Structure 1
């Protein structure tokens, strides 16, 4: 499932490539036909992300809310004929021949697969496949969704005290609390495990036993990691001294993570075997040596 940095990158991409102009909306798959009709021909005013939710605001005062879930993805094409595949997953490009209609809108190629919604403007198009949520909502409904979410470290309105208020009173493990979107929005399985490793925190520590002296650096590090993810487009959590070739970055490599997907492999810091168990519905990875 895409984590918070990906949604903020998507919001910025929509602002840059669709913002300020009219958008044609269709549902090639047919499952979103009514919603597409509500925003068809409207001007996209802004893209906004909160946690794992993407909100696209239109001049009608309505918003397209998208949650990608485990299988959702956007793909983009631009007017010079190059099709960018697989956002948020990088899958390369392919050349396509494009035309324009009488109003100057791009005429994109025939949709491939089950495209829930297609957005087209004079510069290109965007296709959405497989989201867990895709709906048109009012501003009040958008606010109601956001009210259920915890602070997003990437947003300027983020208040870490809101998260701390929940964590400090909870018997639940910090490893589980970090996966709750009503505690901190945008944190997923990778950021959970990697941030706890970097902080040297046992993921089984209860929230009320964490202590502010460990919470504040954890929040700050999560914020920094997410910002790096927005900048780079992928998650890198290893520090330069723990990479075989630090000068090769930023380039995706197998040594970009400390513990995730490395069950049984030696820790990059202490050489203890990386452990794994299920927690909060996902596989949790940690180092018993560094986080014991």
Structure 2
């Protein structure tokens, strides 16, 4: 399941390449033909992400809501433009580590992603942007279709959005629908706070109060989008380990200071994820370790996807179990 940092990055990509431009729309697959007909020829006027959902506004108060779910993806092609305002925490272009030291060579992860500018600087390229950590960039030469415009439709494309120079193909989403402003507001009202959308201090109070009332295990509450927006399986496991919190403890039994720490850590990790494009959850890495972590997921997490491997802190084997149909990774000693 995609997590919040990816959705915000994709929304910002739409802001750079589509907002303010007239958009042609089609549904090559045919499953969104009527919606595409209504969008076709309109101008994209704004975009926002809340948690795991993206809302793209068109003129006449018409909104496109997209929730990619488990299998959805966007493919961008054409002149895809990087946004220097989110290039790094200190505003500089180029990749930075968590200490703000600029790295001379961009890091590509084992899926081929440049973890900061996965979309890339202005260029002719095709870039596959999947709403998950396994984002893959396909630009940079060798694409037989790179000189064809618009690019050919590949596979089952629910919706193609096209400007004069950029296209975005949507495939496999859980939700793709048109909404009125009232319907958008109603959808967002059902979601928990998102640190990149809502007031951070007020949201901390809301999150803390909700958790304090719940008999549900904290490991489930962090995945409940009505409690907090954007957290998925990776961030859930990592946040709980970083807090040394047992995932089975009922929300109302978790100490208030721990709940607040979870929220504040989510604020921090989400910002890192948006900046780098990676769910980086390990701190205080030296430059070599940081580069390794950005290149390989196995080196950037404390417990996620490490079932049976020794805990990086205590050496106990990491456990994987099922919680509410999703895999939960945790250390039974550090998080006892």
Structure 1 range deviating more: 8-17 or 79-88: 79-88
Between the aligned partners of 1:40 and 1:67, the Cα distance in structure 2 is 20
Match of 2:73 in 1: 73
* In the alignment, structure 1 residue 224 sits paired with structure 2 residue 268: yes
Query: Matched residues in 2 for 1:208 and 1:160: separation?
Result: 15
Query: Following TM superposition, by how much is the alpha carbon of 1:246 offset from its aligned partner in structure 2, in angstroms?
Result: 2.6
Structure-2 residue corresponding to 1:118: 160
Q: Which whole-Å CA distance do the structure 2 matches of 1:68 and 1:11 have between them?
A: 13
Is it true that 1:251 corresponds to 2:300 in the alignment?
Answer: no
User: Cα–Cα, structure 1 residues 261 and 191, in superposed 2: closer, same or farther, change >3 Å?
Assistant: same
State the Cα distance separating 1:123 from its structure 2 match.
Answer: 2.0
Q: Aligned-pair distance for 1:95?
A: 5.0
TM-score, L = length of structure 2: 0.81
SS class of match (2:130):
coil
Match of 1:203 in 2: 247
Q: How does 1:65-144 map to 2 (within 5 A)?
A: 65-79=65-79, 80-88=123-131, 89-93=135-139, 94=143, 96-98=145-147, 107-144=149-186
Mapped to 2, the partners of 1:117 and 1:153 lie a distance apart of: 29
Structure 2 residue aligned with 1:152: 194
Structure with the larger RCO, 1 or 2 (CA within 8 Å, 6+ apart): 2
Post-superposition Cα deviations, 1:170-195, rounded to whole Å, max 9, x if no partner, equal 11110011110000011101110100
What is the CA deviation profile of residues 184-241 of structure 1, one whole-angstrom value per residue up to 9, with x for unaligned ones?
0111011101000001111111110112111111100011111100001111111235
TM-score w.r.t. the length of structure 1 is 0.93
CA contact (8 A) 2:25 2:162 kept: yes
Name structure 2 gaps, 5 residues minimum: 80-122
Q: What SS does the aligned partner of 1:85 have?
A: strand
- 1:41-80 to 2 correspondences below 5 Å: 41-79=41-79, 80=123
- Deviation sequence 1:234-274 (CA, Å, 0-9, x none): 11111235x79335267232210111111110011111100
Alignment correspondent of 2:305: 261
Matched, 1:37 2:37: yes
Decide which of 176, 184, 194 is 2:220's aligned counterpart.
Answer: 176
1: CA distance between counterparts of 2:236 and 2:52?
Answer: 14
In structure 2, distance between residues paired with 1:184 and 1:156: 11
Distance 2:199 2:186 in 1: 16
Within 2, Cα distance between the matches of 1:42 and 1:244?
A: 47
Q: CA RMSD in A?
A: 1.7
- Are the counterparts in 2 of residues 30 and 116 from structure 1 also a CA contact under 8 Å? yes
- 1:60 positional shift: 1.7
Cα displacement string for residues 70-100 of structure 1 (whole angstroms, at most 9, x for unaligned residues): 000001001454111243321422353446x
Distance in 2 between the 1:221 and 1:171 partners? 22
